């Protein structure tokens, strides 16, 4: 498979900023141990990227309750990473035993927007009664700090969640705040949206979750863009992770394989004040998975 371009590398590096921010703050707020789990790899253009035939998409982060881990396991996870070398050393049985003690899993997304100043930041969900009284011709997601989940990721994330019994939440970070949604909620909407005779416009406006086709362009490679179906979850339908402050925003420039200069916004520093509601959200997510 063709290597991923410089645009992926830049987005990958900025997503690491969001992961680092959450790992530091979540561990302090909840008394948990959060580690990187899903392994993403950047491979320069012209080189090969080989994927296995796994039915899974592994979530980016695993969250463990500190008191659920042995001293040896805490040492293993002390570097904040459960990489392939460590997984191999554990073996399948050891790895499975360790994963059973994970509290929740998190898939992390990032977008470079000033969240609180977006046009429809405070968009509200319509009640079924208001929709029935005045239905709209179109159902379009508002311009807001929305969570984005690709259709192609849902099945593989669901497969991992079901087989390992660890609930997944998708968290989307911006420069001023972050939001999260349970994967199960997005999956349930997807099933309702695709059901026969579904009133899709009403369902979107009364749930705060939207379905659309999104263009994904490769800024460093002409003609490499494509359209992908995505689900867009508004803040009104999500849980607020927390408020983010003291972020330094700058830009970096790289040279693509076609020798085009490509710039990208990068975030560094900052801190997040974890919302009490998000702590409850994670706890409930874990409890619901045990029922």
Strands (E), the chain: 32-36, 61-65, 102-110, 147-150, 168-173, 177-182, 209-216, 226-233, 239-255, 261-274
CA distance 25 to 43: 30
What number of CA atoms fall less than 13 Å from residue 290's CA on the CB side? 11
CA distance 280 to 163: 24
CA distance 122 to 142: 9
What is the residue-level pLDDT of the chain in tens, covering all 291 positions?
Answer: 344 444 545 455 567 899 999 998 988 888 899 999 986 543 444 444 444 457 889 999 999 998 889 999 999 998 888 888 888 889 999 999 999 889 999 999 999 999 999 999 999 999 999 999 999 999 999 999 999 999 999 999 999 999 999 999 999 999 999 999 999 999 999 999 999 999 999 999 999 999 999 887 655 555 556 789 999 999 999 999 999 999 999 988 887 777 788 788 889 999 999 999 999 999 999 887 666
End-to-end CA distance of the chain: 41
CA distance 155 to 148: 15
| Residue pair 123/209 in contact by the 8 Å Cβ criterion | no
Q: Which DSSP category does 235 fall into?
A: G
CA distance 133 to 130: 5
User: What is the pTM assigned to this prediction?
Assistant: 0.87
Domains of the chain by range and CATH? 6-290 (3.40.1350.10)
Q: Please state the length of the chain.
A: 291
Residue 265, token pair as written in the block: 């916004």
- β-strands 168-173, 147-150 pairing: unpaired
CA distance 123 to 234: 8
∠ CA 248-232-186 to the nearest 5 degrees?
115
CA distance 194 to 199: 10
- Furthest CA-CA distance within the chain: 61
CA distance 165 to 159: 10
């Amino acid at each position: 498979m063709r290597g991923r371009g410089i645009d992926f590398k830049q987005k990958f590096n900025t997503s690491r900023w969001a992961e680092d921010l959450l790992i530091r703050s979540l561990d302090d707020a909840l008394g948990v141990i959060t580690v990187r789990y899903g392994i993403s790899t950047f491979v320069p253009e012209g080189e090969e990227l080989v994927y296995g035939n796994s039915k899974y998409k592994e979530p980016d982060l695993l969250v463990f309750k500190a008191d659920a881990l042995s001293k040896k396991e805490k040492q293993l996870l002390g570097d904040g990473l459960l990489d392939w070398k460590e997984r191999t050393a554990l073996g399948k049985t050891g790895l499975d035993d360790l994963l059973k003690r994970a509290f929740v899993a998190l898939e992390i997304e990032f977008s470079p927007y000033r969240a609180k100043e977006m046009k429809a930041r405070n968009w509200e969900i319509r009640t079924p009664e208001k929709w029935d009284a005045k239905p709209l011709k179109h159902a379009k997601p508002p311009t807001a700090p929305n969570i984005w989940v690709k259709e192609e990721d849902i099945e593989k994330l669901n497969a991992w969640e079901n087989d390992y019994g660890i609930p997944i939440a998708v968290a989307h970070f911006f420069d001023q705040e972050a939001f999260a949604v349970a994967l199960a909620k997005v999956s349930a909407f997807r099933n309702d949206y695709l059901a026969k005779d579904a009133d899709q416009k009403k369902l979107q406006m009364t749930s705060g979750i939207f379905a659309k086709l999104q263009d994904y362009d490769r800024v460093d490679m002409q003609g490499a863009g494509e359209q992908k179906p995505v689900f867009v979850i508004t803040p009104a339908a999500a849980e607020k992770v927390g408020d983010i402050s003291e972020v330094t925003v700058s830009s970096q420039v790289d040279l693509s394989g076609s020798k085009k200069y490509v710039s990208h916004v990068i975030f560094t520093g900052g801190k997040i004040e974890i919302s009490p509601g998000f702590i409850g959200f994670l706890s409930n997510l874990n409890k619901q998975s045990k029922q």
